[in-house]
Amino acid sequence: SVVAKTSCSEENDEWRCTSGECIPKAYMCNGTKQCRDGSDETEKLCKDMECSDASFRCSYGACISLKLVCDGVVDCVDKSDEDSGSCLKRRNDLPDDGIDDETRRKNCAE
């Protein structure tokens, strides 16, 4: 968790939450609420964010690592990274690695 400061510094690349505390701008729209009131993770703030190719865009606009999508842990404030419909589609879109399910279960049990 971020240590809340009350005076924001443009030189330090900080942003003031609606609830008053300052957070590093890098923590805005990253899928995790750093501001007490969640003002760093709103659609209004995040909708115009540019996500890198290695990122997943949450429904409200925040960017998280692609590795965090459909991993069983909610990383987007709106839970869009764990949406059952898109996770099922994503699993079906994964390339077939040639390993059958029985072998996979056996290897997993070992």
Q: How confident is the model over 43-69, as pLDDT tens digits?
A: 999 999 899 999 999 999 999 999 999
Percent of the chain residues topping a pLDDT of 70: 79
**pLDDT value at residue 110:** 53
Residue 2 predicted with pLDDT over 80: no
Helix (H) and strand (E) counts in the chain: 3, 4
pTM > 0.75: no
Domains in the chain: ranges and CATH: 14-109 (4.10.400.10)
Q: What is the dihedral of CA 46, 83, 93, 110, to 10 degrees?
A: 120
Q: What is the amino acid identity at position 72?
A: G
**pLDDT value at residue 64:** 97
Q: What is the amino acid identity at position 85?
A: G
Provide the H-helix boundaries in 42-83. 43-46
Residue 104 predicted with pLDDT over 90: no
